[in-house]
Amino acid sequence: MISLQRNTRRIVYVVLFEIIAIVASTILLSELSGGPPSHSLPIAIAISFIAVAWNYLYNSMFEEWEKRRRIQERRFLHRCVHAIGFEAGLIICIVPLYMWWYGIGPLDAFIMEVSILIFFLVYTFVFTWTFDQVFELPQARDWRQTCAEGPPGAQG
């Protein structure tokens, strides 16, 4: 396994995830629209940027909301609300973009976005599982180092 510092691991994760996502989205959008991949590549790149920016903005707002309510733990219902809110925000941002780019109506754009969301549900699971097989979790490395050092005060 490859061991990376926490922040480096996050950067590698996002970069790899988005590069593969752009390629896969380009192919899927091309199939859904019936057009060539070269026509879907710019929209796939734009959606990648929108998704990353929305992720940062949404999670910042959600965490601020949690902080004001002194929420210290995300329970199941809380996680469901978080996920639904995130995806709803993406749909609101992306459906009009599909309508404009592909010259399609709202229903076709919505179906296109739902298809992409289903793809990303599976892709995120598979990518994250694979990534964790290759790049060790930071806490696993920390735990191994702690075990190698022994209990506090054991050295000396």
Q: 7-11: long-range contacts at Cβ-Cβ below 8 A with a sequence spacing of 24 or more? A: 9/135, 9/138
pLDDT in tens, 123-156: 999 999 999 899 887 766 666 666 767 666 666 5
Q: Hey, how many other C-beta atoms are within 10 angstroms of the C-beta on 26?
A: 20
Considering the domain boundaries, does residue 154 fall inside one?
no
Give the pair of three-digit tokens for residue 106: 């709202």
Q: Hey, how many other C-beta atoms are within 10 angstroms of the C-beta on 115?
A: 14
Give the DSSP H/E element, type plus range, for residue 70: none
pLDDT: which is higher, 52 or 4: 52
Considering the domain boundaries, does residue 155 fall inside one?
no
Considering the domain boundaries, does residue 156 fall inside one?
no
pLDDT in tens, 11-27: 999 999 999 999 999 99
Polymer length of the chain: 156
Considering the domain boundaries, does residue 116 fall inside one?
yes
Considering the domain boundaries, does residue 153 fall inside one?
no
101 pLDDT higher than 90? yes
Number of independent structural domains in the chain = 1
Q: Classify each residue of 141-152 as buried b or exposed e, where b means 16 or more C-beta atoms within 10 Å of its C-beta.
A: beeeeeeeeeee
Considering the domain boundaries, does residue 93 fall inside one?
yes
pTM over the 0.85 mark: no
Considering the domain boundaries, does residue 1 fall inside one?
no
Q: How far apart are CA 139 and CA 155, in angstroms?
A: 22
